[in-house]
Structure 1
Amino acid sequence: MRREFCDPRADWAQIIESQGLAYHRTSHPEHLRRPYWDESVHYVFPMDEVLALESVVEELHQMCLAAVEHVVSTGRYDVFGIPPWVRPLIEASWRRRDPHLYGRFDLRYDGEGPAKLLEYNADTPTALVESSIIQWYWLQDVYPGDDQWNSVHERLVDRWKQIAPPSPVHFAWTTEDETGEELMTVAYLQETAEQAGVRARAIAMEDVGWHSLKERFVDLDEAEIHTLCKLYPWEWIVAEPFGRQVPRAAWIEPIWKMLLSNKALLVVLWELYPDHPNLLPAFLGTPSTLTSYVRKPLLGREGASMSIVTPEGVRTTTTGEYGAEGFVYQELCPLPDFDGEHPVLGAWVVGDESAGLGIRETSGLITDDTSSFVPHRIDD
């Protein structure tokens, strides 16, 4: 794994906007000199390294599924801060094996030691368009003879063919997101479903209605919503007035993924697989024996409400309003340094298979909304 510099395409901004990354300006703080999409640098991997990472990702995914089975079998929902009335819904969904679509592992990796799991974004992962589409077309334009760890699009289409219901699927985003990132991400998911032959309809979450007589979710035309593919966190859904009506529709992602999108998963994994080479020690509510650690809210996003503590007393804290449900303490494993930048590998899973890679860089210690997305290639 190495970092290389290259010349950006002359009209790169217009190119990526035409390909769907219309939010690269709006989702990135305006005061930053470095753009969100940065093709002046990229990472290069040999094929054997990618194959090894693929194996790690699929093993981690299977470990996470085993963690779900453990929580459901033992009833350890308190660790996750999940309301009691939601727990039977998670168990029923898991026992039915309600189908799941995709997720993204965030990994710490420097090309030398083993990759370390930082977290699993298994419910509402973003950076999908840039990982699947934008960097692929960059590769074709700039390094057409090379390859890329990227079968995300094809695997999404194939997965839809496996799980597609006979009725239409509604694709929902929230109008609360003013950047347009969630709308474009959901639109892309809808496109992959339509390529698989799925009948699809778009709807904002705020426009999802409840028909009290039919006891069904409906859209603005009062058509029944049989299946809802949403980019809207489950913890928000169950807190809504209609949350208790969740069993009246099928959901993608299914409600059992509440256990994988919660950072208490890191604690359960460490208990089930102590000293696993791809895990970091993690504890609930206390640093335990850790002398350097990252405190993460169970349901935080974009690096918000986090703290880093070192033995020397150095402390870095990010702002945010997360943490009401509690915190996990994960051993600090500083991100690697490449030319003063610190990459996090976002490894995609579609179904139960590894599907691709997206990389975000930050000059700080925590990956947040100031980070940039950079492409990669395989030089074999």
Structure 2
Amino acid sequence: MRREAATPRPDIKARMQNISLWPADDNPYYDERVAYVFSESQIETLYEASLTLERMIGEAVDHVIANKRYAELGIPENLARYAAACRKNGHPSVYGRMDLVFDGIHPPKLLEYNADTPTALFEAAVLQWEWLKDQFPACDQFNSIHEALIAAWAKLKAQSGLNRLTLTGMLEEDDDRMTIAYMEDVAYQAGWRTIPTPIAELGFDGRGFVDAEGVYVQALFKLYPWDWMAQEEFFDRLVELDPAVMESAWRVIAASKGLLPILWELFPDHPNLLPASFKDDPTLGPRVSKPVLGREGSDIHFIEVAGEPFAPPGPYATQKRIYQAYHSLPCFDGWYPVIGSWIIDGEPCGIGVREDQSRVTGLGAKFRPHRMED
């Protein structure tokens, strides 16, 4: 695994402007000036670790439900009941992103699982693949995300018998807008009739939810966290109507960082896990305190970690917290990469590399394409 300077495609700015992804300050999130290179054995290691973690996380989710440990995960009671029912009824998952620390030598370690509203999907599935084909056509890349998403949506369509998919989120946010637009594309290719609708425009007429066309919602893809939805006035009606929603409510259990101590409890000393606790345990050594339902690196605290890494403040400071042993990210030329391992329909299907000049991967991070050795 190495980081190398790369020459961006000469038309990349025009391409990105065409899809409204090039910022006014000429400092794009997706950046081809640097790339990461992996060996085939390193990719195999990431695949096997991701597959193992996906199985373990599923077992941990079932353990939480069986033992009603929702409060430890910061999940309110009304959402917990619905999440348990969704899991019992076999509601499927389309996608998720595991964030892993990996230096190419030691076993990958799970930092957290973005199982509810993961973004950076289009960059991983499409942009870096186009870069590879244009710049390194003889090379390979761990990336079958696009094909896997189409297959997952086709499978859901066949199983549900539905054909109309409403996609919603805060479309004024770039991450939501691009992820929803991309999901609309792959779902359409899988045979769905797709209707993007800003979440503020979803209506309720007393009988059901209606989308931007005034038609009842059959199936819903949402980029709006379940813990936020549980606080909305419409949540009880959503539970009552129980439409097909992706990601399903049970994914909030997998997404909560409260699952990390439970994973360590169920699978102690596993090479792909970091020690974690619900209490501030000094025996963890240098450690990180995380809000259980925090996002974008906000409100993380470092304890006994040299260098006093900085995490941006956010709205999660009062949340329940967990404590995870600190594991330093590899550092290349002052940049710290995190591997995002994409899980589609339960199967690892590709990776994306995000790096930041801070040891907290936040809003200042860059997405870098990757390739495998020739």
When normalised by structure 2's length, the TM-score is: 0.94
Cα contact 2:96–2:115 (8 A) shared by 1: yes
Amino acid in structure 1 at the alignment position of 2:71? D
Deviations 1:142-169 (A, max 9, x none): 1111011100000000011111233311
In the other structure, the counterpart of 1:7 is 7
What is the letter of the counterpart of residue 146 of structure 1?
Answer: C
Residues 23, 179 of structure 1: 8 Å contact kept: no
Residue 161 (structure 2) pairs with residue 166 (structure 1): yes
Q: Residue 334 and residue 236 in structure 1: after superposition, are their counterparts in 2 closer, same or farther (change >3 A)?
A: same
After superposing on structure 2, the runs of 4+ consecutive aligned residues of structure 1 that deviate more than 6 Å are none
**1:335 corresponds to which of 285, 306, 329:** 329
Question: Partners of 1:308 and 1:334 in 2: how far apart?
Answer: 12
Three-state SS of the structure 1 residue aligned to 2:250 is helix
Match of 2:134 in 1: 141
Residues 226-247 of structure 1, C-alpha deviation per residue, up to 9 Å, x if partnerless? Answer: 2111011101111110011223
Partner deviation per Cα, 1:191-226 (whole Å, 9 max, x = no partner): 1011011122111111111121x2x11124431112
* Match among 327, 343, 351 for residue 345 of structure 2: 351
Distance 1:180 1:304 in 2: 18
**Match of 1:231?**
223
Alpha-carbon shift at residue 312 of structure 1 (Å) = 5.6
Task: In structure 2, give the amino acid aligned to 1:241.
Answer: E
CA apart distance, 1:291: 2.5
Deviation at 1:358, TM superposition (A): 0.5
Q: Distance in 1 between matches of 2:90 and 2:177?
A: 28
Q: CA deviation at 1:14?
A: 1.3
- CA-CA distance at 1:38 after TM superposition: 1.8
Q: Is the 8 A contact 2:45 2:107 kept in 1?
A: no
- 1:95-244 aligned at under 5 Å gives the runs 95-164=88-157, 165-167=160-162, 168-175=164-171, 178-212=172-206, 214=207, 216-244=208-236
1:255-298 CA distance string (max 9 Å, x none)? 00010111101111111111100100111142352231111111
**Amino acid across the alignment from 1:350:** I
- 243, 247, 255: which one pairs with 1:253? 247
Code of the residue aligned with 1:173 in structure 2: it is: G
Cα separation, 2, equivalents of 1:8 and 1:169: 36
Q: Which of 56, 60, 66 is 2:53 aligned to? A: 60
Counterpart CA distance in 2 for 1:191 and 1:147 is: 24
Determine the structure 1 residue equivalent to 2:358: 364
- Counterpart residue number, 1:16: 16
Deviates more, 1:306-315 or 1:361-370: 306-315
1:320 lines up with 2:314 in the alignment: yes
What's 2:264 paired with?
Answer: 270
Identity of aligned residues (%): 38
Q: Give 3-state SS (helix, strand or coil) of 2:35's partner.
A: strand
Task: Tell me the CA shift for residue 324 of structure 1.
Answer: 2.9
CA separation of 1:35 and 1:194: change in aligned 2, threshold 3 A: closer
What are the Cα deviations for residues 294-339 of structure 1, in whole angstroms up to 9, with x where unaligned?
A: 1111111111111122266846443112133311111110110112
Secondary structure at the aligned position of 2:271 is classed as coil
User: How far apart in 2 are the matches of 1:332 and 1:113?
Assistant: 15
Amino acid at match of 2:186: T
* TM-score normalized with structure 1 length: 0.93
- How far apart are the structure 2 equivalents of 1:238 and 1:38? 36
- Tell me which residue corresponds to 2:298: 304
For residue 87 of structure 1, report the CA deviation from its aligned partner.
2.1
| Structure 1 residue 24: Cα displacement | 4.5
What secondary structure does 1:255 align onto? coil
Unaligned segments of structure 2, at least 5 residues: none
Tell me, in whole angstroms, the C-alpha distance in 1 between the residues paired with 2:212 and 2:148: 31
Q: Which consecutive unaligned segments of at least 5 residues does structure 1 have? A: none
Task: Tell me, in whole angstroms, the C-alpha distance in 2 between the residues paired with 1:229 and 1:287.
Answer: 39
* Local SS of the residue matching 1:289: helix
Compute the displacement of 1:56 (Å): 0.7
Aligned AA for 1:263? K
Opposite residue 245 of structure 1, the aligned amino acid is R
* AA in 1 matched with 2:21: Y
Deviation at 1:368, TM superposition (A): 0.3
Is the alpha carbon distance of 1:24 and 1:284 closer, same or farther for their aligned partners in structure 2, counting shifts above 3 Å? farther
Alpha carbon RMSD of aligned pairs, Å?
A: 1.7
Q: What residue in structure 2 maps to residue 82 of structure 1?
A: 75
